[in-house]
Amino acid sequence: MISASLRSWLLSDTPDSRLQARAGRFYLGWLTFAKNPLAMLGLIILVVLVVMAVFAAWISPHDPLFGNLEDRLLPPSGKFWLGTDENGRDIFSRIVFGARTTLYIIGLVAVTAAPIGLLIGTTAGYVGGWVETGLMRLTDAFLAFPKLILALAFAAALGAGLENAVLAIALTAWPPYARIARAETLSVRGSDYLAAARMTGAGSWRILFGHIMPMCIPSLIVRVSLDMAGIILIAAGLGFLGLGVAPPQPEWGSMVSEGRSQILEQWWVCTYPGIAICIVSLGFNLIGDGLRDVLDPRGK
């Protein structure tokens, strides 16, 4: 809980500085987000995922890479909470360390695909003409293929590996962001405040980066948060097919693949990694819904 004086400062109708105004908007957004119990559940899931990734070495009771063959395919017990796989490795420890891989993938995809889509979309919408036509036809070409199929093609061409998997996913994730940024740009391209910026001597690049792109960021944040679930599933699909993280590094999709042959007898080998994928995907969807209520003015 914050103090009454700080709350009054944040909710002031007449802020004394830009910092106070921004802090007040952030606080109001947080209040709106916190009123949504499902969004808070998604936030809790994300916090647990981050804690697992950061403190994996302390949380994991066993070595995630190497196991004892004498302990292979043991069911859940007091020693092995979620059982062991065919190599005698503790599944719980591998899930915990797999959280690092999941965060690494979605983090890199978010910081690469979203800026690329933002730059392409705003440039196309603001410049127009043959530049817009060329960039949008390129976007349509990427959108013509399902994301997973296109990611598989890029991953197969680039080769297996975590960095190549991230690059393959990023190459397929940017087109929707470009379409959103272009639509937002077209809606304000002829607005009065952009005309006023031109009259003050602002050039095209300053208008693009200083006025148009910041306006598109809220919508992009909502779309990125909603797309994280799909990115996790694509990453798991690449891992399932052997095009993701190289073994024996833990990755949830490859763990599901390793246990598919024992799914009837030793169901825990692939069930628990699959549950982890579902829970984290659900968490990002819930966060995305909450952010949409906060950042999308059309939803209010």
Identify the residue whose tokens are 């909470």. 81
**CATH code (residue 234):** 1.10.3720.10
Query: 2 in a domain, yes or no?
Result: no
pLDDT attached to residue 297: 53
**What average pLDDT does range 166-180 have in this prediction?**
90
Q: Is residue 87 part of a domain?
A: yes
Q: What is the pLDDT of residue 155?
A: 84
Residue-level pLDDT at 120: 93
pLDDT at 298: 54
CB 155 within 8 A of CB 236: no
Number of domains in the chain: 1
What are the structure tokens assigned to 278, written together? Answer: 């579902």
Percent of the chain with pLDDT over 90: 35
CA distances from 212 to 106, 185, 207, 223 (A): 26, 6, 6, 17
Q: Domain range holding 241?
A: 30-66+81-299
**In this structure, what token pair is assigned to residue 85?**
């796989």
The chain-wide mean pLDDT, for the chain, equals 88
**Look-up of token digits 């690059």:** 167
Of how many residues is the chain composed?
Answer: 300
How far apart (Å, rounded) are the C-alpha atoms in residues 284 and 227?
8
Rounded to an integer, what distance in angstroms lies between the CA atom of residue 180 and that of residue 215? 11
158 inside domain: yes
In-domain check, residue 103: yes
Residue 214: how many other CB atoms lie within 10 Å: 9
Please tell me the predicted confidence (pLDDT) of residue 159.
80
Which pLDDT value is given to residue 17?
83
- Asked if the structure places residue 6 within a domain, the reply is no
In a domain, 36, yes or no: yes
Inter-residue contact 146 to 92 (CB < 8 Å): no
Does pLDDT of 71 surpass 70?
Answer: yes
Q: Average pLDDT in the 9-37 region?
A: 85
| Residue 13 in domain | no
Q: Name the DSSP letter for residue 66.
A: -
Task: Answer yes or no: is pLDDT of 210 > 90.
Answer: no
- Number of helices (H), then strands (E), belonging to the chain: the values are 13, 0
Distances (CA, A) of 166 to 51, 76, 200, 279: 22, 33, 42, 21
pLDDT at 300 > cutoff 80? no
Domain membership of residue 179 (yes or no) is yes
Q: Cα–Cα distances in Å, from 197 out to 98, 185, 193, 256?
A: 48, 15, 6, 54
Q: Residue 196: which pLDDT band, with cuts at 50, 70 and 90?
A: confident
Residues 3-27: what's their mean pLDDT? 82
**pLDDT score at 39:** 93
pLDDT band for 1, please (50, 70, 90 cuts). low
**Region 106-128: what's the mean pLDDT?**
91
